[in-house]
Structure 1
Amino acid sequence: MNSPNTIRQQDRPAEFPLKIQGGMLEALGINMYATIGKCLVEFVANAHDAEATRVDISIPFDAIEEARGKARETAKAQVEAGDRDPFTVLLTPLPEDLKITISDDGHGMSPEQIEERFLPVNRKRREDADGEETVLTSESGKRHVMGRKGLGKLAGFGAATKVVIETKREGQDFATVFTLDDAVIREAEDIGEVRIPAEYIEGRPIEQKGTTVTLYGLKSDAVRYAFETIAKQIRSAFFGIRADEMAIHINDTLIEQPDPDYVFVYPHGASEDDLADDEVQIGELATMPVRYMVGFRRQNLPTSQRGARIYCNKRLAAGPSLFGLPTGMHNFHSQSYMECIVQADELDRHGIDLINTNRSQLREDNEIVAALLEFVEERMRRALAAHAKWKEEVVDDEITKAPKARFAMQMTSTLEGPAKASARRLLRRLAIEHGADSREFEELAPLIVQTMNTGEVLIRLSHLETNVETIRQVALNLIELADIEKSDALKIYRGRRDAINALLALVRKGEHEFWKKKGIEKELHQLLKEEPWLIRPEFNRYLTSDERLTNVSTMLAEHLGVDTQAALDDPKRPDLVFLMSDTGQPHRIIVVELKSTSLPLKHEHLVQLKGYMAKIETYCRTELNRKVTVHGYLIGSMPDEKTVNDDERLLLHEIEKQGLNSEWSVMGTRSMLEYAQVANGHAIAAMEKDLADLDQDAESEADPENVAAIQQNDGAEAHDCRPVT
């Protein structure tokens, strides 16, 4: 029996072996490249660094969609039977006969390069023989390389369980084939002991070169995306790669950057093909050359696409992001239309790695990145200011060209004095923010004019040949009343600001709700029931709230003037119903369906809304003999563009296909909040300014000299007054 001292000596080795278990590769592959789009970006980057002139990607979208449906049904049955962990459904592999291939005509790899350069995990791609990162260009020196960390080879494991690579160098008469198998690597006690079998295909043409990566055992969730989504990811991941330099195809379709629909670009004269030159001052250390432009789209961008994208060596390094751009700045609303492109190649051409592995952000713990981000934020700030000034300059021309906006301005000619000026200011501001031909302008402009139209009273009095003194007294009373009403209106708008803040609190509560409860739906319903203008400015009084369709039909019949009718027999309850155009034809009925801000909207919710709409329209036509138009609003939390849920994806697909004249709209609570903030914020500011101007005018008129002048003018006007005919 060994003594205690002997045991202790045996348990004290002079060194320890470092083992990396196989699960490490799987974790890296899944965590960084969880979608097929991200996987493909890595393989395209590899092709670029191999000096390829063409990349061909083949994806059997229809077969994948069919197989995914079958796999999920099988997995669902297994989960319900208790035979499977529900979260593993995300990793369900599809049949082995389904595959995705990525082929390029780059230099390819020799067996030696495979062993020494490709297979070593985390090999520093840019290191020279002395361990310095000086190898910044591709094999012939004509391209600056994108790769650096040596992890892109793991990308395939994010979307597949098996990665087969066939590669060939020019000048060799054989191709090398090897397989990275997740099942083999995952079980390894030490990755360093794993042997990767190699095969060789003889008789290949000497001049042939390139690499083909084939993904097998596709993971159901990772390959759920359609062609356009994947193409968009690839377009966003690269900037400045021309098709004649390296053409990227998916199923023989060339992936090109579409011509951007910009209405304004900063700085003047810049474009995606000709970025503006500038430099970043990095403290007292140095300057870094950069190129950039800021463009404002005609249509607002999804939240995930707004702000700056920073590229290094033609590949995305960070963004899109607004970074630290302050939200309270003038014209911040226009960031919804803004994208900024920054080329900062020098950031990735030195011995320090400043780009995070996931390429969504930069390492911000240093002076270089801090200076770059400060530069980007400042340029976006300047662009927003220049954009605001430009909108001010062109708005009058836009109003003249837009028939409905021109008519709204003509309507203000019936107003008097400050009311006319106030109305015109509000209409111009509305056109500046939303566009003179926008739906927002069309809906809000008449409301602005109508609420200020006290001048019609004076015009009518003149038509009736009312004596001058009476008109003068009525006018003074109306002005006083207008001041009171404007002050009261300001109180109302400030009350609306409180409602907007309540909506903001609900949105934030839903976004941060960890367990995604449904209770917030009731809070949202109560808020919109009390403040329906948050949905659309013309929504003031609802017809019904959370009533059975039976009661909805009865109230519709009453408001449409139908005495006898058969009520709609249906217990379902739409959240809110509005009846618009009470005196016009055809009547417009609005159905609103609300969902919790803590749960993403789904296609089944849209189906539910459409069901309400169809039943109400059919009832009005068949039972009430009334022609109506029914429009629906589905309101809640918009699904993430990268959602894995099929029902959420189907809703996003429906929204994407939706035409301009669709009978339904899906409104995210975030978008509703932004709209309400802009529309009411400007009204508050305009009214506060008008009241301040009126107070100043009142002080001026109180001056004795001014009073005398007014009385003298009043007398002159009285002697020269004629009735208006």
Structure 2
Amino acid sequence: MTEEKKSCSDELVMRFDPNTIEHLGVKMYSTLPPVIAEIVSNSYDAEAKNVEIWLFDNDENKSIKIKDDGHGMSFEEINSQFLRIGRNRRKDTHSQYSKNKKRLVIGKKGIGKLSFFGISSKIQVETVSASIKNTFILDWSVLKNTEDFDENYKPEIVTLNENTTDEEGTLITLYNINRKTSFSPDDIAYTLAKSFQVFDETDFNVLVYHNIESNKIEVKNELRYKNLNPIHTWNFPLHIDRYPKDYYCEDLITGKIVLTEETVPSKMRGVSLFSRNKLVNEYEFYDIKATSHGYSYITGWLNVDFIDLFNEDVISTNRRSLNWETTETRDLRAYLTKTIQGIFNETKKLKEENKVNKFLEDTGISIEDWTNKLPAHEKKLAKKIVHSIIGSEGIETSKASELVKFVQDSFQFQSFKDIANEIHEVENLSTERILTLFKEWELIEAREMYKLSLGRIETIKTFEKLITENAKEVQQIHPFFEKFPWILDPRINMFRHELQYAKILQENYPETNLEEKNRRIDFLCTSVSNHRFIIEIKRPLHLITKKDIDQAKDYRSFIEDHLESNVYSPNRVIAYVVGGKIDFDDRKTKDEIDSMQRIDKVYVKTFNQLLTDARNYHKEFIDRYEKLNNT
């Protein structure tokens, strides 16, 4: 062998037209995620089990390191394979498999390494194969000045065939990154999960590190659809009679299409295609004009591995879409269009059923049971509004439940039904019209509460005067509370005054057998929430002690023990003691108050507390109306 030939064997050579690098590297790969995806693809084909992606951005000189434990490259392989632009690995090796036949290879076109120059101007590659290390540098500033195709670019060799005890694998470092903002490891992990379906394989693990070892993310397939809650899933192959059966590759298509509760992020709407676990066509609806909002709830992916065996290469260079102009791909596209359209036709009913079930789950109320209890004319109206809400594509499931509950609560008010009747004859209620109805009703309700609150403010002033004058318990305060029970608690809507237990319980639970006991309480009250309030009223200057609390506890437990257990029974029995002051100097009194309040059995209030609470409660209604009226 001549000296000239020896020297040539120790050189690395890349043959290229500089325009190739410019168009296929710098311009096509201008963002970080697809560049990293190309390197991960190479690691997978190199039969790596572990890949580490290190993102360093603590200073202005950002860099990225991607390390794998694949079989690495010899010096000859670097020259004949890695530095050979456009090499078709599968044709060269006459095999669809990786070096040791462990995997079907993902790479095909041999231009992925050009992606490095899309974000970095200097790349160092260190690779170990069979205990031999080789390291070289690709420098874009030098490479781009190589203007003549016959003038070979010669990467800088750092390490040449050096013996090493390092494990096999490859480390690629990207320097001089064209990026001002910090790296986002979450975005990198998410993009990788969208680009491949290999991250659940037991012998392929990918970790993304950000500056330090403790800040890491494991890439998994599930990241692709995080935060999306499925309503229904169509698993492929679809062996369902109502879907097309005229496509010859139908049984070879695997994957799933999903209908979700929430709208899908715009870049994931539609169905993506994968071949050999790598993305070959981004999310789309193919020949469907997806103008309906309902399409924004559909996402999914399908595996079409058979396209890699087509006579013609139909995968685009950047793997974002297939070439749909061949006979084989046109047939595939037609099948996808028909199938997705069939799935979309099923989604409206599935979403409505999900919203009804969600409402039942959230409220414990069956819409059908509720509407069936209404008078005939109201039933028709309620059903129309409810089903318009449930069927609206623009209203999320959680919001739909909230609005249906609002309708149910509001149907007890005639003013709401009057407004609802105005749109009863409208054939198709739009989301906008439904929301306008609720806004109108909210203003009316607020106005009524505003007028009521203004009147109650005057009542509160009267109550304040009774407290100041130390009014008598029975002659003055009792009649006042009997007439205005809301001042004790807004939930109270009825007072029963000065009755014996026997009479109270016989009136409300006639089948209960009671002993005749002449034990009295001041009030037994009913609330809208089906609670019973036992209220013991003292004088405005009375000092509440533990003895008063014990008395209220005794009253409360007696009532609770003697209530018959049936559907009309109250949900809870609560006692109130109202007086002028609380003896907080007495430790036992203070502890007893805290203990009873924690278990929602006995509450102790002063008249001043009632006065302050009543003012604040009604002031909220005044403020709310004024705010709504000014919007």
1:236 aligns with 2:194: yes
Match of 1:289 in 2: 252
Distance change (3 Å), C-alpha of 1:363 and 1:485? closer
- Selected match of 2:383 from 424, 433, 445: 424
RMSD: 4.4
The structure whose residues are more often strand, as a share, is 2
8 Å contact 2:410–2:416 — kept in the other structure?
no
Structure 2 Cα separation of the partners of residues 225 and 419 of structure 1: 58
Note if contact 1:340-1:380 (Cα within 8 Å) is conserved in structure 2: no
Q: Contact 1:104/1:210 (CA < 8 Å) preserved in 2?
A: yes
What is aligned with 1:213?
172
SS state of the match for residue 402, structure 1? helix
Deviation of 1:316 (Å) = 0.5
- Give the SS at the match of 1:438: helix
Distance 1:127 1:303, change over 3 A: same
| Cα offset, 1:443, TM superposition | 3.6
**Letter of the structure 2 residue corresponding to residue 212 of structure 1:** L
Match runs of 1:236-635 below 5 Å: 236-251=194-209, 252-258=216-222, 261-267=228-234, 270=235, 276=237, 289-327=252-290, 333-393=293-353, 396-403=356-363, 406=365, 412=371, 416-431=375-390, 433=392, 438-443=398-403, 446=406, 486-487=424-425, 489=426, 538-539=438-439
- Tell whether the 8 Å contact from 1:32 to 1:158 is kept in structure 2 after alignment: yes
C-alpha contact 1:177 1:199 (8 A) present in aligned 2 = yes
Match of 2:155 in 1: 196
Seen in structure 2, the aligned counterparts of structure 1 residues 101 and 414 have a Cα distance that, compared at 3 Å, is same
Q: Distance in 2 between matches of 1:428 and 1:24?
A: 59
Residue identity matched to 1:313: R
In 1, the alpha carbon distance for the partners of 2:244 and 2:371 equals 51
Could you tell me which residue of structure 1 aligns to residue 555 of structure 2? Answer: none
Deviation at 1:297, TM superposition (A): 2.7
Letter of the structure 1 residue corresponding to residue 268 of structure 2: Q
CA distance in 1, matches of 2:147, 2:51: 36
In the TM superposition, residue 395 of structure 1 has moved relative to its aligned partner by 5.2
TM-aligned CA deviation for residue 161 of structure 1: 0.8
Question: Shift of the alpha carbon at 1:224?
Answer: 4.7
CA shift in 2, pair 1:149/1:485, >3 Å: closer
Q: Following superposition of structure 1 onto structure 2, how do residues 167-186 of structure 1 map, counting pairs within 5 Å?
A: 167-170=127-130, 173-186=131-144
2:26 counterpart SS class = helix
Residues 537 and 442 of structure 1: CA distance in aligned 2, closer, same or farther (over 3 Å): farther
What aligned pairs does 1:23-62 form with structure 2 within 5 A after superposition? 23-61=19-57
User: What is the CA distance between 1:114 and its match in structure 2?
Assistant: 1.2
- TM-superposition CA deviations, 1:185-204 (whole Å, max 9, x none): 11111254122232325654
**Which of 1 and 2 has greater Rg?**
2
How big is the shift at 1:232? 0.5
Tell whether the 8 Å contact from 1:415 to 1:453 is kept in structure 2 after alignment. Answer: no
- The alignment's TM-score, normalised by the length of structure 2, stands at 0.58
CA–CA distance in 1 between the matches of 2:146 and 2:160? Answer: 28
User: 1:629, CA displacement in angstroms?
Assistant: 8.7
Q: Which amino acid aligns with 2:176?
A: G
CA distance in 1, matches of 2:620, 2:437: 30
- The DSSP-based 3-state class of the residue aligned with 2:359 is helix
User: Which amino acid counterpart does residue 292 of structure 1 have in structure 2?
Assistant: G
**Does residue 18 of structure 2 align to residue 22 of structure 1?**
yes
- Aligned with 1:135 (options 92, 95, 106): 95
SS at match of 1:406: coil
Do the aligned partners of residues 453 and 210 (structure 1) sit closer, same or farther apart at CA in structure 2, a change above 3 Å counting?
Answer: same
Whether contact under 8 Å (1:162, 1:216) holds in the other structure is yes
8 A Cα contact 1:241 1:314, kept in partner:
no
Q: Which amino acid aligns with 2:217?
A: T
Which runs of 5 or more residues in structure 1 are unaligned? 1-18, 68-94, 458-477, 501-530, 544-559, 562-584, 586-620, 633-725
Letter of the 1:219 counterpart: N
1:287 shift after superposition: 6.9
In the TM superposition, residue 409 of structure 1 has moved relative to its aligned partner by 6.9
2:81 equivalent to 1:117: yes
Distance 2:149 2:621 in 1: 75
- Deviation of 1:141 after TM superposition, in Å, equals 1.9
Aligned partners of 1:416 and 1:44: how far apart in 2? 66
1:408 to partner: Cα distance: 7.3
2:184 pairs with 226, 243, 246, which one?
Answer: 226
**CA, structure 1 residues 447+119, in 2 after alignment: closer, same or farther (shift >3 Å)?**
same
Name the aligned partner's letter for residue 323 of structure 2: R
Measure, in 2, the Cα distance between the counterparts of 1:456 and 1:339: 39
Could you say what secondary structure the match of 2:134 adopts? strand
Distance of 2:245 and 2:317 partners within structure 1: 23
Amino acid at match of 2:45: D
Determine if contact 2:72/2:129 at 8 Å carries over to the other structure: yes
State the alpha-carbon separation in 2 of the partners of residues 282 and 191 from structure 1.
Answer: 52
- Give 1:161's aligned residue: 121
Between the aligned partners of 1:537 and 1:26, the Cα distance in structure 2 is 59
Going from structure 1 to structure 2, the CA distance change for 1:455 and 1:276 (only over 3 Å counts) comes to same
Give the counterpart letter for 2:275 in structure 1.
C
CA 421–127 in structure 1, closer or farther in 2 if over 3 Å, else same: same
Give the deviation of 1:415 after TM superposition. 5.2
- CA displacement at 1:436 relative to structure 2: 9.1
Q: What displacement does 1:437 show?
A: 6.0
TM-score, scaled relative to structure 1: 0.51
| Contact 1:317–1:361, Cα closer than 8 Å, also in 2 | yes
Match of residue 538 from structure 2: none
CA deviation after TM superposition for structure 1 residue 180, in Å? 1.1
The one-letter amino acid paired with 2:288 is L
Match of 2:587 in 1: none
Once the two structures are TM-superposed, the CA of residue 158 in structure 1 deviates from its matched residue by 1.3
- In the alignment, what sits opposite 1:703? none
CA contact (8 A) 1:53 1:246 kept: yes
Change over 3 Å in CA distance of 1:113–1:288 after alignment to 2? farther
Change (3 A) 1:142 1:370: same
1:278 positional shift: 7.1
In the alignment, the residues of structure 1 paired with residue 20 and residue 95 of structure 2 have an alpha-carbon distance, to the nearest angstrom, of 28
Secondary structure of the equivalent of 2:222? coil
Q: Which amino acid aligns with 2:22?
A: E
| Alpha-carbon contact 2:134-2:158 (below 8 Å) kept | yes
Deviations 1:224-243 (A, max 9, x none): 54111111000000014434
The alpha carbon displacement at 1:52 in A equals 0.9
| 3-state SS in 2 of match to 1:59 | strand
Q: Equivalents in 2 of 1:398, 1:364: separation in Å?
A: 41
- Whether the 8 Å CA contact 2:137–2:158 is kept in 1: the answer is no
What SS class does the counterpart of residue 312 from structure 2 fall into? coil
Question: In the alignment, which residue of structure 2 is the partner of 1:105?
Answer: 69
Amino acid of the structure 2 residue aligned with 1:264: I
Q: Output one character per residue of 1:33-92: Cα deviation in whole Å (capped at 9) or x when no partner.
A: 21111110000001111111111110024x16xx3xxxxxxxxxxxxxxxxxxxxxxxxx
Q: Distance in 2 between matches of 1:436 and 1:357?
A: 39
TM-aligned CA distance change 1:143 to 1:362, over 3 Å: same
Gaps of 5+ in 2: 1-14, 210-215, 444-452, 455-489, 491-615
Secondary structure at the counterpart of residue 358 of structure 1: coil
Q: Matched residues in 2 for 1:345 and 1:360: separation?
A: 16
2-structure distance, mates of 1:229, 1:167: 28
The one-letter code sitting in structure 2 at the alignment partner of 1:218 is I
